[in-house]
Amino acid sequence: MPPVILVVAEVAAGHLARLSTEAATFARDLAAEAGGSVLGVIVDSDPGVAAGELAAYLPRVVAVTAPSIATELPAPHILTEVRRLVDEGVTHVVLGASVDGRDVAGALVAFTGWGYLANADSAAWSGEAPVMTSNVLAGKAVVHSTLATAKGVLTVRPMSVTAAEAGAVGVVEARSASGEPAIPAVVVLDRVTEGGAAVSLEEARVVVTGGRGVGSIEGFAVVEDLADALGGVVGASRAAVDAGWIPYARQVGQTGRIVKPALYLSLGVSGAMQHRVGMQNSETIVAVNKDPDAPMAEVADLFVIGDLFEVAPALAAEIRSRRS
């Protein structure tokens, strides 16, 4: 039987999350290889805009209005709608490997007993099942795995798939939420915005990152100024976060954010494997480091041996003078 692949999309600030455009592209390509069909579901208190955006990627989108999501975490409500679609014939569920995506995946695997393939970087259809490829052990190996069952759950790692719209716009089908979720609700009491760039690290075209070599909170002024000159946002290595120079929300790496900007420029970042996992898919990588043996040299397109406190201000000035 040809598979019916469901993409579970997420909403971020009223719009379709970037990761969901990647998951939708991943699922559509997989369905095409398998000779199966693909559809998407979006569950939100106000899913309209994001559902319209998802229809650019998929032939059919189910938009479920669940008013409770305005004041509760989404995962229990998403799970309920996904199970309803499973009852209607979905054989494979594809989610983004986000915090909410993993929560839905875990509960779905628990209730269905289906196989789970996590953090796919890519996948191909082979015979009766998807075969996925994923980086494991902090990027030291690539594993190929498959489902032994006819049905399953897959998550897609952020920034692994290049999102591409389908040629035609799909049909959006509006639904109301099915009712009380099967798993307990979690109430959202408050949503707090803390200082930070308006553009998130994941969305930024340019990311300028400071590491141990930055040396202090004050040292990050140099990183911020270069980011400003390049129109980018500031990131950090774990060493800089652990030292308390910059908040954890700015951390790039296995236990932080995964980014794939057009330019990743690192200042005083040694490039430990756990950091590289979070940035090695960047289109262009430039690194400035005093230490010629820093592991970042293994992935940098241009590696500059030098003092970041001299090179970064000079570069910021050079860029500003070329722009003016």
Which 249-278 residues touch other proteins, going by CB under 8 A? 249, 254-255, 262-263, 273-274
323 binds other proteins (CB under 8 A): yes
- Report d(CA 282, CA 85) in Å as an integer: 36
Residues 123-152 that bind other proteins (CB under 8 A): 131, 135-149, 152
CA distances (Å), 231 to each of 120, 195, 207, 245, in order?
31, 18, 9, 22
C-beta closer to other proteins: residue 6 or 206: 206
Of 127, 190, 218, 324, the residue at the interface with other proteins (CB under 8 A) is 190
Q: Output the six-digit token pair for 179.
A: 């009712």
Residues 212-241 that bind other proteins (CB under 8 A): 230, 238, 241
C-beta closer to other proteins: residue 7 or 294: 294
Strands 171-176 and 284-289: unpaired
Selected range binding other proteins among 32-40, 83-91, 158-166, 198-206, rule: CB under 8 A: 198-206
We find the least distance from the C-beta atom of residue 73 to other proteins, in angstroms, to be: 6
Selected range binding other proteins among 117-125, 158-166, 170-178, 211-219, rule: CB under 8 A: 117-125
We find the least distance from the C-beta atom of residue 264 to other proteins, in angstroms, to be: 11
Nearest to 158 by CA among 286, 261, 240: 261
CA distances (Å), 107 to each of 13, 54, 101, 224, in order?
25, 24, 10, 41
Residues 40-79 that bind other proteins (CB under 8 A): 73, 75, 79
DSSP 246-283: S-GGGBBSTTSB----SEEEEES----HHHHTTTTT-S
Residues 89-108 that bind other proteins (CB under 8 A): 97, 99-100, 102-107
We find the least distance from the C-beta atom of residue 239 to other proteins, in angstroms, to be: 12
317 binds other proteins (CB under 8 A): yes
Burial class (CB in 10 A: 0-12, 13-18, 19+), 146: middle
Of 80, 155, 237, 270, the residue at the interface with other proteins (CB under 8 A) is 155
- Put residue 169 in one of left, alpha, beta given phi > 0 → left and psi -120 to 50 → alpha: beta
Nearest to 251 by CA among 237, 233, 239: 237
What are the residues whose beta carbons fall under 8 Å from the beta carbon of 29, sequence distance 6 or more? none
Selected range binding other proteins among 53-61, 171-179, 207-215, 298-306, rule: CB under 8 A: 298-306
C-beta closer to other proteins: residue 174 or 262: 262
Q: Output the six-digit token pair for 196.
A: 């930070």
179 binds other proteins (CB under 8 A): no
By rule CB under 8 A, what count of residues binds other proteins? 97
Burial class (CB in 10 A: 0-12, 13-18, 19+), 163: middle
119 binds other proteins (CB under 8 A): yes
